[in-house]
Amino acid sequence: MGPALKQNLKRKVAHTLDLPSEVLLDQATIHLMGDAEVHIVNHKGLVGYTRDCIKTRSIQGMIEVMGSNLEIVSFSSSEIRISGKIRQVMLT
């Protein structure tokens, strides 16, 4: 079974069971609280960290949080919480 077929099957199961698809598909979710905090769930690892840009991997691609005075408030194997002056969140 190919990766696209597996994803399609998981999407159908999530819909049938009325579950959030990001849970079964292991997709990252990004919660933006104003311009002061970002919470990323289901990331796949930290790639870069400066006061102006924090990069992390996800199934969908690279997630870049850009701003000033950025700081990682909490970090675990699946979640990351970033605070500071958020200017842009980008999926590349």
pLDDT (tens digit per residue) in 19-28: 655 555 578 8
| Whole-structure pTM value | 0.77
Joined tokens for residue 9: 């099957």
Nearest CA among 70, 77, 66 for reference residue 43? 77
Confidence of residue 41 (pLDDT cuts 50, 70, 90): very high
DSSP code for 23: H
- As a whole number, mean pLDDT of residues 50-71 equals 96
What is the residue-averaged pLDDT of the chain? Answer: 86
Structural domains in the chain, CATH included, are 26-91 (2.60.40.2000)
Nearest CA among 62, 64, 70, 30 for reference residue 44? 62
Q: What is the pLDDT of residues 71-80, one digit of tens each?
A: 999 999 989 9
